[in-house]
Structures are given as C-alpha cells and as structure tokens.
Amino acid sequence: MDSTRVTEQPTSFERPQPGVDPADPRGALLRTPSPARVPGTGAALPVQGRCGDEPPAPGAAFPGSPGAASPDTVTPGGAGQDPAPGPGAEHAQPGSGHGAEPATHRPRPAPEGIPVQPAAGAGVPAQAPDGQERRTGQVTRPGQPTPMRRDGDRLRFVGAATRRIARGIDLDEIVMGLCRATVPTFSDAILVYLRDPLPVGDERPTGPLVLRLRRTDRIPAERDTEGGFAPVAPPEPSELDSVGEELCTVRPGSALAEVLRGVRPVFTDAPAARAALPELLGEDGASAVPDGQRAILAPLRGRRRVIGAALFLRRPERIPFEADDLLVAAQLATHSALGIDKAVLYGREAYIADELQRTMLPENLPRCTGVRLASRYLPAAETARVGGDWYDAIPLPGSRVALVVGDVMGHSMTSAAIMGQLRTTAQTLAGLDLPPQEVLHHLDEQAQRLGVDRMATCLYAVYDPVSHRITIANAGHPPPILLELGGRAEVLRVPAGAPIGVGGVDFEAVELDAPAGATLLLYTDGLVESRLRDVWTGIEQLREKLAATAQLTGPDHPPPLEALCDEVLDMLGPGDRDDDIALLAARFDGIAPSDVAYWFLEPEDAAPGRARRLARRALSRWGMEELSDSVELLVSEVVTNAVRYATRPVTLRLLRTDVLRCEVGDDVPQLPRIRQARATDEGGRGLYLVNRLARRWGATRLSTGKVVWFELNHG
C-alpha cells in the first residue's frame, strides 16, 4: 500500500518533486512520491530518505545489484532480505546488511549531526577495488572525508549547525558555534572576518570598511563528538595552517568589495573571488588556498549591511565542494550574521544597563570621620542587570554621616530611573541637614510627583561619631542589624512605617546608641526574602550568620568589613536570587571625648583673638604645636567672617582624628565664596588663605545657619 510522508524542510533547499503540485500552499512541506515500480518486475525502488524520514524497510535494494531480491524470494532472515550487502550498493541504507532486524521494527531516528566521513561499512559511497569513488572518480583512502551525497544529509547538517549557532548569546559564542559546526563536517578550516568596529542597530558606520580576523578553526587533533562525529587520526600539516591575515581594509571598488556586495557565497576559483583573496588574506595567504572548488567565500550580511565574511576551506586531498554546498554556506552565513547582529544589540543593551546602574550607585564610598564603610550590589540576574535597589553614604556637617538604603519595586530600566531620581532627592535633602523623618517625608512627596504607582522602601540613618548615637527613620524597609564588638547581633527595633509613595503618612525616628567597634548592616529585601523563605526567616538567618562570623575573630576584634560582606552574601543559596541586592555595612569607630574641643564664642570683636588662644591651648594639649601658626591664622579668618554677620553665639569645634578638623558655625545661611580681592582692598583674602593652606575646606548650609570647616594634616 502506498504511503505518504510529510517533511518540513528549509525553503533554501526546496526542489521540484515528482508528483507534487507546485502551487501547494504548504510551501516547504514536500510530499515524497510513492515508490516507483520497475517495469516488468513489479519491484519498488526505495524512497530516498530526507530529514525526518524513516529509512526503507530492511532488505530493500536497487534492482540489478548483487543484493537485490525479487518479491517472491524468501530468505531465512525474512521476506525479501539479502544475507549480505552488495559491494556496489552506492545508496545502501544502514541496516540493510546481514543481521538486520525484521521490517516490523521501527528504526531509530537519525542524530542531529550527520556522521563525519565513515571509513567503511554501510551507508558510504561505493568504491572500486583501487579505492576510486565511482560517482566522481576521486581516489579516497580509509578514514578520508567523503562528500554529503543526499539532500537529506545537507538538511540534517544545516539543521544541526544552525541550532548550534543559535545557542550562542554573545558574539564569541556565535562565532565559535559557526566554527565548531562546520569543522570538520563541512570544511577542514574556516576563517571568520568581522567589521571592526561592528555597527550597532541602525547606526551608520563611519570611516573605511575594515575586516578583522575574529576566529579561525582547523581540524583538531581529535574530532568533536558532540554531534555524533567519530574521532579520526590527526591530519598532516598543510599550507592551510598559515592562511589568515589579522586585519584587512576593503577598498571601495576593489574585487573584495564587489564580492561582498554580491552577498551570495562563491567558489574561490571564480575570477572575481580569486582576485579578492589577496586583499583578504594577503599574497602569501591567497597562494595557500587550494585550487579548484575547495574554498567558498561567503559574505556575512546582517539585517542592513555586510558585517563580515567567512572562508570555508578543504584540503587538497579532500573531495571538492559541490554546487549544493553553496546553499549550505549561504544558510550558515545568514544564520551567523543575524545572530551576530542580535548579539551586538544585546551587548549594547547590556553595556547601557551596566553604565546606568554604575552611574546610579556610588562609584566610591566617601571617607568619613569616625566610621568605615563597605558595600555590595548584586543584580537580580545576568539578563536583568539594572534594578531599583540603591545605597548611599553622605557626609554631613559636624563630622556626621547619613547612611541610606532603598528599594524601588521591580528590576528594570524604569525602576533604575526612578531610583536615580529618589537617590538624587535624598542627597539634596541630606545637604539641607534635615532630620531623617523629614527626609523620608519629602521623598514620599517626590515619589507621588513621579507617578501614582511609584512605590519604594527606604531606611535613612544619621550617625554622629562625637556623641556615639545614631538616629534612624524607616519607610517600609527591613530593619537594620547591629553587630556589637562582643559578637552579639541584634535586629534593631525601628518603626516600620509606610512605603514611600503611599502619601499622607507620618514617619517616626528613633535615636539609639552606636558604641565604638559596632557594625551596622543595612540591606534590601533581596538578601533575606526569596521563594524559599519569608522575610523574617531570612532576617533571623542573617542575624545568626553575623553572630557566627563575629565569633571567628574573637570578642575583642570585630570581623573585617569586606570579609563580613562576602560572608553575608555567601548565605545565599542557588535558588535565593529572586531580586537585586544592595548591602551597606558601617563600622562605628567614633571620636573619643578627649579628641574633641568645643566652645561658644559671643559675636563680638574680641571673638577672633579668643578663638586663637583656645585653639593654641588645645593643640598644646594634643602635642600638635607644629600646627599652631597655621591653625591660629585660619581660625582667626573664619571666625572673623562669622562674627561679622552673626546675631547668636558662634560655635568653634576642633576634632583630632587622622586629620585635624576645625568647624565654625553661625546662624547666617549665606555661604561664603572665594573672590579675587583688589590691591587696595583691606579684606576679602580670608578664604583665599584657607584655600591655600588647608588640606580641604567647605561650607554647608544648615536649617539653623551654616558651618564652615577646614582640615589640616598632622604627623
């Protein structure tokens, strides 16, 4: 009974089939005709297998061959079976030889990749006793590569190769997939050239067309067996090993430019291609290319322009390419070029995402007096590199520091953009020296202005190293954990509050002790919450992890900050990364009371002289007399500017840490600015002297006035 089989094939390999209507609307779905009958015999010719077809039933053979049997012939192995394959069965199918299974057994499907060049056995082209292949007349040796004879072979190879190319995500993976798929199955060597630089999307490349050799592969010592390839002996060295030029500039109107403009693969024995080879490979490389149809030059065309070229090479001892191999090269070049285009676009998007996230987060944490800082950020996944989590450390007047951590819902470009706006707002509000609860209140208003669905959580803390106190306000964020010097870890009881963006709610701040040697850990919920655990279970696990880490260094030595952050991230299991993670750790060193000198000065003409005497006395007590002249001069200038406009007492504070810091505060909000004094002016040079003599200096506006400060190095 006749049977019909339907096979889906790439349109590049469509061919007119006997018995098929050319107007068949199914396009590439081709019908295999029923087996033809040999006149006068009633025997049916076997149907040639294509991609996805089953091989003919065991025992089927060409009429007239030594192994052919008539329909009435019965053998012990079953009806119509031949005890041994005929030596001239050029198209004999695997399994048609001696010992084949009965016809009722369904044969195994063909593997993805076709076996490469079997040396002997079923399924190879017949050879004469002298090793000459009957169809082409080429002389082959056992183990030598043989050509793909059937369209089914090529279709299976193209299918396996394109799947391997499509597995790549970045540029190197796609180019490597092309090389590994074609060597040694299709060619003995391949050279892949790409534009340098590669254009991205719709951008128009500028400058001349330059091709750079991106990768070259040749037959390895041991064949790749991933696609069912059998290992063979390593090939002998040949001139192909020297083919290749690192850089090639394509001149307009040259032979190489014309070949690339043609887009279609060509044999290099064509005059145009032969003239293009020296430009691509150099004179020495072009002379090493085998003669005849043993090389194919295939332009790589993306969606809008040629982005490179691939050169497929076969060794002189191997059978040349056939005309149908140009279609194979065209398919490989098209799939590779489109994959490269997408990889370049993906790389640009990943670069933009990385740059956006990098600019949204602090590039370096500031060096603040009395506190050491460390941070970590992990994206939700490699394909989602941006998110709404952020952290920040902002120096404040009076040697204080604001510690901020927040989380905008989602991990997308939109979340990162909103996060950037909220972080900028928080920095601006911190510069005004507002209380933590007021900062959260203004952030809430800003989130409502950005949109109705702009929700975020945030924790804002201000640490004062002089008083050893910390003030914390929370807006729906996980509570911080304080690790004390003795190894005790405690989850701080901070009112949770409503998330930012809800609107119409008040935020509450609490003031807590921050002893010297303690470590405050601020984090986002991605660290403690996942599909495998709820947030409070994760917080408890984090607390236990911190306590266990502190036990390793003993009760008198806190764990190093960087190592502590790494240990915290190690608690994440393989399935715990559902969200991006921001982590900020602050080690409180504080400033000892003996290193602080603080005075109030009445706004009168005698204030600068008194300030000089007090500063000299403090420096003498600290053993820093070498700085007396510089400090007295700078203190006198800053205090003079303060008392000139102040109406309330002026504050003067000296802090001895790794530097000597002087702070002068008054109730005037206007910030001083350096100006160029004229030769006849009696004043206006005070800040100029501060700028020249001080290590650093600055002025910060407060809600009650301003603070002008400067720092000096000491031994």
Q: Report the DSSP pairing between strands 596-601 and 74-75.
A: unpaired
Which residue is listed with tokens 């009881």? 493
Q: What is the pLDDT of residue 534?
A: 87
- Are the beta carbons of 411 and 386 closer than 8 angstroms? yes
Domain limits, CATH 3.30.565.10, in the chain: 593-713
How many Cβ atoms from other residues are within 10 Å of residue 259's Cβ? 27
Contacts of 548 (CB under 8 A, 6+ apart): none
Cα–Cα distance, 709 to 689 (Å, whole number): 13
Domain limits, CATH 3.60.40.10, in the chain: 361-588
Coil/strand/helix, residue 255: helix
Q: What is the pLDDT of residue 16?
A: 44
What angle (nearest 5°) sits at the alpha carbon of residue 379, between those of residues 520 and 163?
160
Helix axes 561-570, 535-553, angle to 10 degrees: 140
Which residue is listed with tokens 């199914």? 26
Q: Which DSSP category does 486 fall into? A: T
Coil/strand/helix, residue 289: coil
Q: What is the pLDDT of residue 518?
A: 95
Cα–Cα distance, 247 to 238 (Å, whole number): 23
- Are the beta carbons of 65 and 88 closer than 8 angstroms? yes
Q: What is the pLDDT of residue 40?
A: 45
List phi, psi (to 5°) of 636: -60, -45
* pLDDT less than 50: residues of the chain: 1-138, 140, 143-146, 221-238
Cα–Cα distance, 366 to 584 (Å, whole number): 13
333-343 burial string, b = 16+ CB within 10 Å, else e? Answer: bbbbbbbbbbb
- Are the beta carbons of 229 and 113 closer than 8 angstroms? yes
What angle (nearest 5°) sits at the alpha carbon of residue 164, between those of residues 160 and 167?
140
Q: First CA to last CA across the chain, in angstroms?
A: 103
Which residue is listed with tokens 């804002």? 460
- Are the beta carbons of 78 and 59 closer than 8 angstroms? yes
Cα–Cα distance, 458 to 482 (Å, whole number): 18
pLDDT tens per residue across span 611-654 = 999 999 999 999 999 999 999 999 999 999 899 889 999 999 99
- Are the beta carbons of 585 and 375 closer than 8 angstroms? yes
Cα–Cα distance, 404 to 523 (Å, whole number): 10
Domain 151-218+242-351 has CATH 3.30.450.40: yes
Cα–Cα distance, 592 to 590 (Å, whole number): 7
Cα–Cα distance, 182 to 162 (Å, whole number): 10
Domain limits, CATH 3.30.450.40, in the chain: 151-218+242-351
Cα–Cα distance, 621 to 634 (Å, whole number): 19
Give strand pairing partners of 664: 652, 708
Give strand pairing partners of 450: none
Q: What is the pLDDT of residue 576?
A: 57
Contacts 24+ apart (CB under 8 A), 306-309: 306/195, 306/260, 306/261, 306/263, 307/194, 307/195, 307/198, 307/199, 307/337, 307/340, 307/341, 308/192, 308/193, 308/194, 308/195, 308/211, 308/214, 308/337, 308/340, 309/192, 309/193, 309/211, 309/260, 309/280
pLDDT tens per residue across span 255-285 = 888 888 888 999 988 888 888 888 888 877 7
Contacts of 287 (CB under 8 A, 6+ apart): none
Contacts of 248 (CB under 8 A, 6+ apart): 193, 210, 211, 212, 213, 256, 279, 280, 281
Q: What is the pLDDT of residue 241?
A: 54
Is the full-model pTM beyond 0.75? no
List the structure tokens of 420: 């950037």
- Are the beta carbons of 543 and 491 closer than 8 angstroms? yes
Which residue is listed with tokens 């809430």? 444
Cα–Cα distance, 522 to 510 (Å, whole number): 16
Domain 593-713 has CATH 3.30.565.10: yes
Rg (CA), the chain: 40
What angle (nearest 5°) sits at the alpha carbon of residue 463, between those of residues 529 and 641?
145
The CATH class of 361-588 is alpha beta
